[in-house]
Structure 1
Amino acid sequence: MRRVPASASRWRSLPRAGLFVSLLLACGAALAGAPVKDPNVFELDGNAHDQAPAGDDWELIAPDGTGGNALRGVFITDSVTGDDKIFHGGGSKDVRDISQWGATTGEPPDKNDIEHAYAAAYNVGGDLVIYFGLDRFSTDGDSAMGFWFFKNNIGTTATGFSGVHAVGDILVTSDNVTGGTVSVINVFKWVGGQNPLQLLASSTTGGGSTDGAGVFCLTNTYACAIRNATAQPVPASWGGYTFKGAGAVNDFPPFAFYEGGVNISALLGGSETPCFSSFMAMTRTSASETAQLKDFALGAFPLCGISVGKACVVDADSPKINSDGESIHTKFNIPITNTGVGTVYDLSIEEDTALPGSFATSCHVSSPIVSGNMSTDGAVAVLASLGAGATSNIIVECDSKANPLVNSVTARAKSTQAQANRDLSASHTTGSGETCAVQPDPAIIVTKECAPSTGAPTGVKLKVGGGFEVCVNISVKNDSVESLKSVSITDNHIGALLTGGTLTPGQTVTYNNQCYTATNADGNETNPAEAAFSDEVNVSGVGAISGEPVGDPALPEATATCKLCPCSGPSCAP
C-alpha cells in the first residue's frame, strides 16, 4: 500500500520582512558573501526540528508552523500514490527548456518518490540565501536530486508544463548516496542558447569538505547540504510522514531527509539578484545536468512582488460635485508596496476607466506630478524604483458620473532594471469601505406672481365679448448643487411650459406674461372689488446624481392670486 495522496502546495509571506527594507538585494553591489552554514539564520543540521541556537528550521516553515523569520517560505506535499505527477519522456532534462519537458500521472521508483519539498529565503547581510530540502518515500538505493528556482511562473498541464525558462533561473544539483554523506553540489544559471546552463560553482571544480556535523560545503561556503545519517523526528507541523513498508512513522529513517542552502547573491558575483516566482524539487538519475528527471514537487515561491490598494480621500475638494452638476470629482490614495526581497523598477498604474453605461470616467495622477490623463487601461509611469518593503502613496483624481466611483487599479513594475517589460503586477478593486459618495439634496424654488401691464395693473382685465384675461410671471430655479433632469413645469390653467428639460445648478428659467382666459372669478365671486383669479404651477424633476425626485413627497408648487380691481384706501392689506 502507498500513502494516500495529499498533493498540496503552500507558500507564505513570513514575518519580519522589515529586516531587509534597508538592505536592497538588487542594488548590484558586490558584498562579501555570507556563508550558508550559519545556525543563527537556519539550522542546516540534518533534521527538521527547531532547536537552539536561534536560527529557523523546517518545523517552522511547514504549514502548521509559526512561520519563522524567512522572507518567503514554501512547503509542498507531493502525492506518493499512483496519481502522482511525475516527469515523462526522454526530453525531460535540465538542459532543455521547460516547454520540452513531459509530465504524466504515474508512480516513480520508490527511491525517487518525493513526499515533501520545501524552500525558504533569507536576507543575510544583504545576500539572498535560499535553503531547500525534501524527504523521500523510500531509501532503497542511491538518488540524486535537483532544485530549480524559476523567475517565471511555472505550472503543470495534462502532458507537460506551462511556462518557460528565463535567463537567470538557478539550478542546484546534489547526490544522495545510501550509506554516505553528501559529496556533490553543483550550481547552474540558465543562460539559454546551445549551452543553456552556466556553471556557477561545483564541488568537482572548486572542491568542498564535510565538517564534523556531517555538513558538506563548497570551499567558498556559498553552497552546503546534509542528509540525516540517523533517524530524526518528523515535526508535528509536517502533517504526517509515510515510509515504504512501515506506513505512518514518527521519524525520518536514515538518508530519507535532505536539506541544503545556497548564497544566490554571492554566486552571481554582485549581479542583480533575480526575482524568483516558482520552486521545483526533483529527483533524477544523477547529479549531472543531463540526467533523466524522475519525480517533482512544484510550488509558488514569489521572491519579488508588489501589492496595490485604493481608497477615497475625503477633504474639502473630494468628493465634490463638479460645476456641470452631473459628475463628481474624487481623489484616491493608491498605495503601492514592494512585497519582495529586492528593489523593483519603472512602476506604473492603470485605472479601469471603461465603466458600463453612461458613467464615463477620466482620471489623472496628481502626485507625483505626471503629465497627461489616464486613458482606458493605459499605463502611466509613477515611480522610477521602489525599495524592498517600501510603500509609496500615489494620488489619483477622477471625474465620473458614478456615485460612488467603484473601479479597479492595476500597478505594474519591472523586477530588474534590465527587464524589457513590466513583469510584476497587482490589482485592486475598491471595496465598500474604500469609496465615498456625495449625497446632494435636489431642490427647486418656484415663484409665481401676477403680471401687471398697461390697462391691467393687477394682471387681470376684461375681455371683449366676455370673460377675463389673467396674466402671470413664472420662474423656476434649481437651488441644488446637482443638475436636475426630466424637469417638467405645468400650470393648471396654462398647461405644460416645459417637458423633460434639464436645469443646471443655480439655473433659472422664466416664463413672463403667460396668460389664460377665465370665465369666472374664484368662487364665482361677482363683486368686482372682491373678484380674484388663482392658478397654480407644479414642477417635477430628478437629481442627476442622487436620482431622487425634487420635492419628495410633495411636488414644488406656487400659486398666484390676481385681483380684478386694485385695492386702495386704508382698508387694503399691505
Structure 2
Amino acid sequence: MTTFSYRKVMAAIASCTAVVMTGVSPALAVNPADYFQLDGNLTDGDLNSTPTKPDWTDIFQGKLPTGEEGATAKASLPAGFSATTFIADFNIDDTKDVSLFATGSKDTLNITPGWECKRTNNVNDKTDINNAYAVARTVVVNGTSHLIVYFALDVAANDGTKNVAFWFLKDPDVGCVANGAFVGNHSDGDVLIVSEFTNGGAVSTIKAYQWVGGAGGYLDTNPVASGGECNGASFDVCAKVNTVVLNGTGTGNGDQVPWLVKTKKGSASPDYNAPTDLDIGEFFEGGIDLTALGISGCFNRYLADTRSSTSLTSTIFDYALGDFSNCSIGASKTCAAASVNADFLGYTSPFTVTITNTSPSGMVYDVSFKETYNFGDTGETCKITSNNGDQNVTDVDITSGNVVMVDSELPAGQSVTVGISCTGPMNSFQDSIFATAGSAPGLSDIEKAAVVDSDTATACEADVQADLTLTKVCTGMELVGGTSSTTPITLRAKVAITVTNTATSNELVTLTSVTDNKVAPADLAQVVCGSNPPTPASDVVLSPGETACFIGSYTPTTADLVNPPIPPSTAAFNDTANASGEGSLSDEVINAPSATATCNLCDSDVDGTPDVIDADSGP
C-alpha cells in the first residue's frame, strides 16, 4: 500500500514515460482549463463575470489584513480538490531571500549531489519569486478518473521574457540544509514542467518532462506533453499569464490580489498603483492532466523556479519549495456484536479495520496500523483474526500498540480489510487505530486515525441477562426429640428449596442470599441435589442451567396455621422462600420470584407425602 504525497503527484506525471515502459494506456485527454479558471487572474470569474469554475481564491485564504506573507488553504475546498500548497518566498520588510540555487545547479542533475542552494540579500528582480502555489483536482470523465494538477507563481517584476519551471517530486525529504546542500533524491516518475512567457502576458511554450530511474537516473529530454496558452484549445498541459494589472490594497481578501506580494515598479503599466499590485506579466498559472499522459503515483514536494531559458540545462535561479501530497488513505474501524465467552467471565468483541487508498491515482506501500486504545491493566487482549492483504498476520497480538503491516502495495481506490478479536472483561468499547502507508516502499508518510464512536460501541455490546427461578416444597412433618422434660418431643415441618440459574442466562450468578421466613438460618443447609442421604454442598456459583438445592425444617406454631380454627386433621402451615444473587458480568443483583409451600399436618389424602400420621400408621 502507498501513501498520498507530493511524490505521488510527481509520480503521476512521471508515468507518462511509464506508459512506454509499463504498457499503461493513457486516458483520453481532458483540458485542464475546463475544470479550473486558468484565465490569468486569481479571483472568481474574469473580474467582471459570474464564476462557473473555481479559482485560486476558492482554494486559498490570504493572511490579510494582518500584514503577514502567504496564505492558508480554506477549510472547505470545492469538490474534487486536494493536495494544497502555498509557499511565500519573500519578506515584506527586507530584500533577503533564503532559497536560491547556487551556481552549477541544473535540472538535468540529481538532487544529491547536483543541486546546491544559497541565501542572498539582493535577488535579481526579474528572477525573484514572491509566491508559489499548487492544488490537485480529480474529475471523472466518461467513467475515467483524471488527476489534474494546477500550479502557479507570482514574481517581483515583469522585465523581459521570463522562464519558469515546476517540479513535482516524490521524495518527501527534498530540501535545502544550512550548509548550502540539498538533501533528497530524484525518484522515477518525478515531473518537470517548463514554460516561457513574455512581459506582455503571452505564453510562448510549455512542456512536461519525466525523470527516469532513481538517484542514478536521468531527465528524459523527450517531452511527455507539449501544450500552449489556455485559450480554449484542448491541451494536456496549458498555462496563462495576466494580461491586465491585478490590483491589491494589501488589506483584505476581496482584492484582485488577495495575499501580499512585493513587486517592483520598473516600467509600470498605467493601472499599476502599489507594490501590492501584480503588474501585467507577473502572474503565471497552468494545469496538466496527468492521467491523460498515463502518469500516476504519489508526489510529496512541489518546487517552482525561475531560469535563464527553457533549455533543460539552463541556469536555475530562485526557487520556492513546499509540501504537496496528492496521495491519501482513508481508515475506518467498525464493531460487530460482542458475545459472552464460554466461561461466562468475559466477552469477545469483534472489530473490522478497513484501510483504503483514497488517492486519485498512485500506489501506496507498506500499509500498516496499530491499536491506540490504552488497555492498561484491563486484562483485555486483541489479536488479528483475518487479513485480505498480502501479509500473513493472523493471530498477531496487537494489544500493546505494535505496528503491523497488512499489505505491501495498495492500488488507488482499493482497500485492505483486517478482522480483529478482543477478549477480556470489556463489553465492546470505543476501540481506535492509527493507520499509515508510504508514498514509496519503506516510508510511512501517509497517516489516518479511526475510532469506533461511543454510540456504535454501545450498540455492539453483548446483551447480558440472567434469571433465577425458585421452587419450594414441603417434604413432610416429623417428630424430633424435644429440648426439655416439659417438651420431650417436637413437631417439625420439613422443606426443600431449589434455586436455578435459567438456561437462557448467559452469565454466572453467585447466590448471595437464600432464606425461608420460617426456617432459621442455622436450620437451612445446602446439599447436593438428589443425594440420599443428603450430602452437604457449598457451591453457590451457578452456571446457566445449574441448580442449587437447600433443605431445612421449622417448628410450626398455632400462629403459623393458615386455616384456624381447624380440627387437627386439616391443619396446615405456610412458609415462603426467597433467593437473590449477583451476575458475574453485569454485577447486577438478581432476585428470584418468591415461592410459598404449604405443609399439611395430616395430608395422606392431600399430597401423598408421608406425614406424622402416615409415618405412625404405615402405608
* TM class by smaller structure: 0.5 to 0.7
Is the alpha carbon distance of 1:562 and 1:340 closer, same or farther for their aligned partners in structure 2, counting shifts above 3 Å?
A: same
Alignment of 1:81-160 (within 5 A): 81=92, 86-87=98-99, 95-97=110-112, 112-121=128-137, 128-139=147-158, 145-153=164-172
Which letter maps to 2:128?
N
Equivalent-residue separation in structure 1 for 2:446 and 2:354 (angstroms): 16
CA contact 1:117–1:133 (8 Å) conserved in 2? yes
Matched-pair contact (CA < 8 Å) for 1:354–1:360: no
How far apart are the structure 1 equivalents of 2:114 and 2:496? 82
**1:310 alignment partner AA:** K
Provide the rounded CA distance (Å) in 1 between the counterparts of 2:581 and 2:280. Answer: 87
Q: TM-score, normalised by structure 1?
A: 0.65
Q: SS of 1:483's equivalent?
A: coil
TM-score, normalization by structure 2: 0.62
Letter in 1 for 2:542: L
CA offsets 1:411-462 (integer angstroms, 9 cap, x no match) = 566768xx46787553311012433223434322233444x4xxxx33x441
1:407 aligns with 2:431: yes
* 8 Å Cα contact 2:170-2:439 kept in structure 1: no
Superposition deviation, residue 345 in structure 1:
6.9
Residue 483 (1) aligns with residue 522 (2): no
Q: Which residue of 279, 283, 289 corresponds with 1:257?
A: 283
Matched, 1:434 2:456: yes
Mapping of residues 439-478 of structure 1, within 5 Å: 439-450=463-474, 452=475, 457-458=476-477, 460-463=478-481, 465-466=483-484, 472-478=495-501
Question: Where does residue 493 of structure 1 map in the other structure?
Answer: 521
Give SS of 2:34's match. Answer: coil
SS of structure 2 residue aligned to 1:252: coil
Letter of the 2:375 counterpart? L
Aligned counterpart in structure 2 of residue 74 of structure 1, from 81, 84, 89: 84
**299, 319, 329: which one pairs with 1:306?**
329
What is the CA-CA distance between 1:199 and the residue it aligns to? 1.1
Q: 1:533/1:207 Cα in 2 relative to 1: closer, same or farther (>3 Å)?
A: closer
Deviation of residue 253 (structure 1)? 1.0
Contact conserved, 2:382 with 2:397, CA < 8 A, in 1?
Answer: no
| Cα contact 1:320–1:438 (8 A) shared by 2 | yes
Residue 545 of structure 2: SS of its match in structure 1? coil
The 1:337/1:131 distance shift into structure 2, 3 A limit, reads same
Find out whether 1:168 has 2:188 as its counterpart.
Answer: yes
Give the aligned residue type for 2:581: S
The runs of 5 or more residues in structure 2 that have no matched partner are: 7-18, 62-73, 265-272, 485-489, 527-536, 562-566, 610-619
- 1:357-388 CA-to-partner distances (Å, cap 9, x unmatched) read 03344553498999944531688898898764
Are residues 1:506 and 2:526 paired?
no
Deviations 1:163-220 (A, max 9, x none): 9546236253647787476668674527444xx56213468xx9979779799x9xxx
Structure-2 separation of matches of 1:247 and 1:303? 36
Moved more, 531-540 or 158-167: 158-167
8 A Cα contact 1:540 1:550, kept in partner: yes
Q: Residues 508-528 of structure 1, C-alpha deviation per residue, up to 9 Å, x if partnerless? A: 2334xx457x68858599x99
Q: Evaluate the alpha carbon distance shift between residue 273 and residue 175 of structure 1 in structure 2; reply closer, same or farther with a 3 A threshold.
A: closer
Question: 1:35-54 CA deviation, whole Å, 9 max, x = no partner?
Answer: 68664355555444546998
Cα distance in structure 2, aligned partners of 1:149 and 1:333:
36
For residues 226 and 448 of structure 1, the distance between their equivalents in structure 2, rounded to whole angstroms, comes to 95
The verdict on how the C-alpha distance between 1:489 and 1:164 changes in structure 2, with shifts beyond 3 A counting, is farther
Report matched runs for 1:2-401 at 5 Å: 28-31=22-25, 39-41=33-35, 44-48=38-42, 50=45, 57-63=55-61, 72-76=82-86, 78=88, 80-81=91-92, 86-87=98-99, 95-97=110-112, 112-121=128-137, 128-139=147-158, 145-153=164-172, 164-165=184-185, 167-168=187-188, 170-172=190-192, 174=194, 179=199, 187-189=209-211, 191-193=213-215, 196=216, 198-201=218-221, 224-232=238-246, 236=254, 239-244=258-263, 249=276, 252-262=278-288, 264=290, 273-282=296-305, 294=318, 296-299=320-323, 301-313=324-336, 318-328=337-347, 336-342=355-361, 344=363, 352=371, 355-356=375-376, 357-362=378-383, 364-365=385-386, 372-373=394-395, 375-376=397-398, 388-389=412-413, 401=425
Residue 152 of structure 1 contacts residue 163 of structure 1 at CA under 8 Å; is this kept in 2?
no
Q: Which moved more, 1:530-539 or 1:332-341?
A: 530-539
Change (3 A) 1:222 1:509: same
Structure 1 unaligned runs (5+)?
A: 1-10, 13-24
Q: List aligned pairs for 1:539-558, cutoff 5 A.
A: 539-544=580-585, 546-551=586-591
Paired position in structure 2 for 1:22: none
- Does the C-alpha gap of structure 1 residues 207 and 344 become closer, same or farther in structure 2, counting only changes over 3 Å? closer
2:344 match: secondary structure: coil
**Given that residues 114 and 137 in structure 1 are in contact (C-alpha distance below 8 angstroms), is that contact kept between their aligned partners in structure 2?**
yes
Judge conservation of contact 2:434–2:447 (CA < 8 Å) in 1: yes
Q: Percent of pairs identical after alignment?
A: 19
**What is the CA RMSD across the aligned residues, in angstroms?**
5.9
Bigger mean CA offset, 324-333 vs 152-161: 152-161
1:382–1:570 CA distance, 2 compared to 1 (3 A): closer
- What is the letter of the counterpart of residue 72 of structure 1? S
When residues 311 and 524 of structure 1 are mapped into structure 2, their CA distance, relative to the original with a 3 A threshold, is closer
Contact 1:144 / 1:283 at 8 angstroms: preserved in 2?
yes
Tell me the secondary structure at the aligned position of residue 434 of structure 1. helix
Structure 2 contact 162–199 (Cα < 8 Å) conserved: no
Equivalents in 2 of 1:106, 1:486: separation in Å? 83
CA deviations 1:57-93 (Å, max 9, x no partner) are 5455445699567553525263743599943896996
Structure 2 Cα separation of the partners of residues 99 and 521 of structure 1 = 110
Cα separation, partners in 2 of 1:305 and 1:213, compared to 1, 3 Å: closer
Post-superposition offset of 1:254:
2.0
Where 1:510 maps in the other structure, the secondary structure is: strand
The residue type equivalent to 2:543 in the other structure is T
By how many angstroms is 1:307 displaced?
1.0
Deviates most, 321-330 or 150-159: 150-159
Partner Cα distance (2:100, 2:469) in 1? 81
Instruction: Tell me by how many angstroms 1:117 deviates.
Output: 1.4
